[in-house]
Structure 1
Amino acid sequence: MNETKTNFNWYPGHMTKAKRQMQEDIKLIDLVVELVDARLPQSSRNPDIDELGKNKFRLILMNKNDLADPKATEGWTRYFEEKGYAVVCLDARSKNYMNQIHNVIMDVCKEKIERDRKRGIKNRPVRAMVVGIPNVGKSTFINSFAGKAVAKTGNKPGVTKGKQWIRLNKNVELLDTPGILWPKFEDQTVGLRLALVGSINDDILNIDELAMELIRYLKANYPGALAARYDIEEENEDAQVLLAIAKQRNCIKNGGELDYAKAAILVLDEFRSGKLGRISLEMA
């Protein structure tokens, strides 16, 4: 992806507090369950998690798998497994994956369960901490896993506040934590990718610029996706492509002028909802 003019550096105070809280909470748990966005598994990870979670069992859940490029997801699964993580690809809105995840947790933590058994401790549940950056689907996953709405969900970054233990069944307890975003975007491309999938609040971004970055990326990496969706020539300059989409989709202001902003929002929304196809923003 090309360098973007928008400068991303977003680390609210409540996230600093959340990191301190996690340093305390990590002592209480056996397993770190980390949600990432399958479309950008590296950029949607918090780099502090590896340091915080060392010496703990690890499970990575690649959420929004239904929106990601299957080939890219295969590559990322191999990448994380080679690093010693257990990996499950899923759509957190669906309960279909929950038995599989439960079995993986039991398998990952079998050493701990065996140690407890030898010490005469029976039926102590595996304690897992669920972590992930804002808007990656943590609350949705917890609700699906627990089978009821126990965690507040929302599609605005930063909806989850505070912490709570959630008893899933006799085998597993989850500690929910607020999401932590990157403390600093040293590589601006990371900020751009997170913005494209909606992990940074759109209100603080230049949406036209963001849509142009997406158009540029799609033309280079998924040629034909824009042409197929909008019935346009995508070989033109990026601004001309956005103009053509505005025309095709009737994005027009009151005076009859084309509405670039409306077209930009349309393209971003259709990318985020998978209407442009299964697209990943980074490859392993």
Structure 2
Amino acid sequence: MISTADRNAWATFFARQGVKVIFSNGQLGMGSVKLGRIAKSLATDVNTKRRTKGLLPRAARAGIVGYPNVGKSSLINRLLNRRIVEKQTLPGVTRELKWVRFGKDLELLDSPGILPMRLTDQAVAIKLAICDDIGERSYDVTDVGTILVQMLARLPAIGDSHLKLIARCASE
């Protein structure tokens, strides 16, 4: 859900810190097999270290966290190759933390979307509202709709698509 340039910048940032980065797309499944393989390998490594310390093995735990509607539940379902956690294109479907077993050595935590307590950048807040990533109780729908129309009006016209948009908005 990010541009290639941003993705590469994040990969470079984390690589400089010695963190392995794997990009995936839970909706399309790209990268999920590799991610699953590495996650299971890391979980096995955790139990190997536990055994050397005289501790009993147990499932390692990893949390899947992020903004609303970025595909956290889709990624978990992809990793498990079945629909184990509910997902929709609406924010707020995942309402509570839920642990799911991924193999014998790993548990994944599906979590609700997380937003900062205060969004000081109003442009970001408006874009999140436009994408329906913030609950409608947090903003005035008419104001956000007006701003969206103003943003769309600044875009170059492609054929008659702007006329179709105006006609659709006028009919509702």
**Which residue does 1:246 correspond to in 2?**
162
User: Is 1:80 equivalent to 2:14 in the alignment?
Assistant: yes
Instruction: Give the Cα separation in 1 of the matches to 2:140 and 2:74.
Output: 24
The TM-score normalised by the length of structure 2 is: 0.76
Q: Stretches of 4+ moved more than 6 A in 1?
A: none
Give the CA deviation at 1:86.
3.3
Deviations for 1:230-251, whole angstroms, at most 9, x for unmatched residues?
A: 23xxxxxxxxxxxx6432x374
**TM-score with structure 1 setting the length:** 0.50
Q: 1:157 aligned to 67, 75, 91, which one?
A: 91
1: CA distance between counterparts of 2:116 and 2:77? 25
RMSD of Structure 2 on Structure 1 (CA): 3.1
Shift of 1:108: 5.3
Indicate the residue corresponding to 1:131 in structure 2.
65
Number of residues paired by the alignment?
Answer: 168
Residue 209 of structure 1 corresponds to which residue in structure 2? 147
Amino acid at match of 1:131: V
Question: Relative contact order, CA 8 A, sep 6+: which one is greater?
Answer: 1
Q: In 1, are the aligned partners of 2:77 and 2:83 still within 8 Å (CA)?
A: yes
8 Å CA contact retained: 2:44, 2:105? no
1:184 pairs with one of 113, 118, 128? 118
SS of the residue corresponding to residue 12 of structure 2 reads: helix
**How far off is 1:113 after superposition?**
3.7
Identity %, equivalent residues: 26
Give 5+ residue unaligned stretches, structure 2.
Answer: none
Q: 1:214 to 1:146 in 2, by over 3 A?
A: farther
Distance 1:141 1:261 in 2: 38
Q: Which amino acid aligns with 2:98?
A: Q
Partners of 2:24 and 2:32 within 8 A in 1? no
Q: Give unmatched runs, 5+ long, in structure 1.
A: 1-37, 40-68, 220-225, 232-243, 254-258, 263-284
Cα distance, 1:92 vs. partner?
A: 0.7
